[in-house]
Amino acid sequence: MMNPQERLEAFLAGQRPDRIPYTIYWNEWRHTADDPAWGPLFEKGLRVTYQVCTAAEKTKNVQYRQDCYEENGKKLTRHTMQTPAGDVYAISEHGWMQKYWITTADDYRVMKYIAENTELTPNYEAFEIKAKEVASHGIAHTMLCSRSPIQTILVDYLGLENFGLHLVSFEQEMMELYEALLKNFRRKVEIVAAGPGKYVGVLENFTAETMGPKRFAKYHIPVYEELYPILHSAGKIVGNHYDGKLSACKELIAKAPIDLIESLTAPPEGDMTLAECRAAWPDKLLWVNINVSDYQLEPKKLRQVVLDAVQPAAPDGRHLAFEISEAYPENWKQSVPVVLDALEETRFIC
């Protein structure tokens, strides 16, 4: 019988674990981490995943400031980065962006300055420390801790509306920033490749309808094809956090050097069933969310949902794990044990 660490290692290696693994992101678990009810769930095989950055970032000549204020009954935070090239700011409410960093051509110039003045150095000790610290209940993984260049621009700097507009209005400025970010991304990959950790996660937060296959082929695929082989040559397994709708780009994803699709979610959140995902990507590892609404089902129905998901996604018991990465089930004390018991029924003789 495998322990949870061995189970997940077998999954990542493309081998068949003795049952389908089940994990929860630290960020989703941390709110109730002190609750003793997690103990029995860990004994049943649940594990918390911790993402560790092994490439440390430091920006030169940049001052950061945060100012909290209220406006129209809302508690807002203004984040400012001051540089010799000028200042940029963003506004958030409870961590969600209300105004993104880039709105003008001058903002692109400042963000490019910041990218060009970012130093990247190894921080391998962080991984070893975290792995030892969480060994009783968790598993540490290496993260690149930044998205690929175009995803950084879309998700972190612009937001969807401005991204569409700026592809036309500020194409040159966007591409200059893209190249500066790509240089940093290359360096980060080199550092991570030389460090600890078998699995490397890339937090893309990709959903295909925001990019489309044409731009996905132009901006994503060349980055993956250039840099992921560096990680592969170091013996790493590379997984992209693709938590949205993927069908429009499924053929391109199939050909890309991505080993694992993580945070994969079936309809209604996503737009591909697990059977469709397995048909499109027969050899890729799938780390899958159970739909948020399914956790609210009565135990018998939730159990059947889990069992019904295993057969099409992992008919031979390989290439599949489940996780909680996007939405924390408020009824976890009732629902998570049902999932664990259902996965216990997926036992395989290894």
pLDDT of residue 117: 97
Going residue by residue through the chain (350 aa), what tens digit of pLDDT does each one get? 899 999 999 999 999 999 999 999 999 999 999 999 999 999 999 999 999 999 999 999 999 999 999 999 999 999 999 999 999 999 999 989 999 999 999 999 999 999 999 999 999 999 999 999 999 999 999 999 899 999 999 999 999 999 999 999 999 999 999 999 999 999 999 999 999 999 999 999 999 999 999 999 999 999 999 999 999 999 999 999 999 999 999 999 999 999 999 999 999 999 999 999 999 999 999 999 999 999 999 999 999 999 999 999 999 999 999 999 988 899 999 999 999 999 999 887 54
* Total-model pTM: 0.95
CATH topology of domain 4-60+117-344: TIM Barrel (3.20.20)
pLDDT at 348: 73
DSSP string covering 186-252, please? HHHHHHHHTSS-SEEEE-----GGGTHHHHIIIIIHHHHHHHHHHHHHTT-EEEEE--S--GGGHHH
